[in-house]
Amino acid sequence: QFMSTNASDMVWDFYSTADELEVNPGAVNQMIFIAHNPTNRPMSAQAIPSITPAEAAAYFHKTECFCFTQQVLQPGERIEMPVRFIVDRDLPASVKHLTLAYTLFDITARHPPVAHAAVQDVQGAR
């Protein structure tokens, strides 16, 4: 199961493209999350993951995740963000259901994004 929530000060639209996915332990799985910045300003965000039940976390391995890096979206920008993962074959048989949840935080004040126009000006000057 996949869940996505915004921290209290985050205004982005943020959700997974499906609520659930049946997985085969040992196989590579993927889910796409969507983020959209509906504001008129560039913003930076960081997603923080959690796994439940807690005992399953040791058996859940992300090989690619948007949570590994900060996300910068320009005004009105929408992106697809994949998470690729493997559920270990040694997952206890008693665990039948996992939930991967993300909370998205606005980190714009701590990590101001660069607007596209400014980046293009710098690149064009080279």
Q: What domains are defined for the chain?
A: 2-124 (2.60.370.10)
Between residues 36 and 122, which one has the greater pLDDT? Answer: 36
* Residue 76 confidence (pLDDT): 97
Beta bridge partners of 87: 60
Query: What's the pLDDT band for 109 if we cut at 50, 70, 90?
Result: confident
The tens digit of pLDDT for each residue in 71-100 reads 999 999 999 999 999 999 999 999 999 999
52-to-73, 82, 88, 97, 102 alpha-carbon distances in Å: 29, 20, 15, 9, 11
Structure tokens at 36: 């959209």
The tens digit of pLDDT for each residue in 37-69 reads 999 999 999 999 999 999 999 999 999 999 999
Structure tokens at 24: 């085969």
